[in-house]
């Protein structure tokens, strides 16, 4: 038997105004995207925004449906929209934030496993890491890539 360890490094900021201006802008766009969330069942509004390799910022939100699981998380809506709009560009970074009744949650909200796997796919497609910024009313966490959020991604396709 061999015991192995894994360490995840990330940055933590005490408020949005402590971020680099470009990260602050991306997070503010995600906060704005929360307002377009359609979440009549969970009341859990999530907004996400991405910065593309061409400099464009795109945003979207979670969309629920009475025929669960027909809805979709904000992270996947945003990533799919970005890839459809700019199929030859890469996602460089994504900001994610959640709110309830118009108020940001006190702690960051992490993407679900399905969203993490989709983002890992876009890292593979773009051949570059995607920075992830998780915002909240309290702290903000910044991860350098998806593997920091999901270290054992499914990537067993032939090279």
Q: Give me the active site residues, please.
A: 75
| Local structure of residue 38 (DSSP, 8 states) | B
Beta strands in 87-147 (DSSP E): 91-100, 103-104, 131-134, 140-143
Q: Using alpha carbons, select from 63, 34, 137, 48 the residue that is nearest to residue 94.
A: 48
| Residues constituting the chain | 159
Backbone angles phi, psi at 135, to 5 degrees: -100, 165
Residue appearing with tokens 């998780």: 134
Q: Which tokens sit at 121?
A: 């796919």
């Amino acid at each position: 038997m061999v015991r192995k360890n894994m360490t995840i490094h990330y940055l933590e900021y005490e408020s949005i105004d402590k971020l680099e201006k470009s990260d602050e802008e991306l997070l503010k766009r995600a906060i704005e995207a929360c307002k377009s969330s359609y979440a009549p069942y969970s009341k859990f509004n999530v907004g996400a925004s991405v910065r593309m390799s061409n400099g464009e910022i795109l945003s979207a939100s979670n969309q629920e449906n009475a025929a669960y699981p027909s809805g979709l998380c904000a992270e996947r809506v945003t990533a799919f929209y970005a890839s459809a709009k700019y199929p030859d560009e890469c996602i460089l970074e994504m900001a994610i934030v959640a709110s309830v009744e118009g108020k940001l949650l006190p702690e960051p909200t992490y993407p679900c496993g399905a969203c993490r796997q989709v983002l890992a796919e876009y890292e593979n497609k773009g051949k570059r890491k995607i920075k992830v910024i998780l915002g909240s009313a309290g702290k903000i966490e910044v991860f350098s890539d998806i593997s920091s959020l999901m270290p054992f991604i499914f990537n067993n396709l032939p090279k």
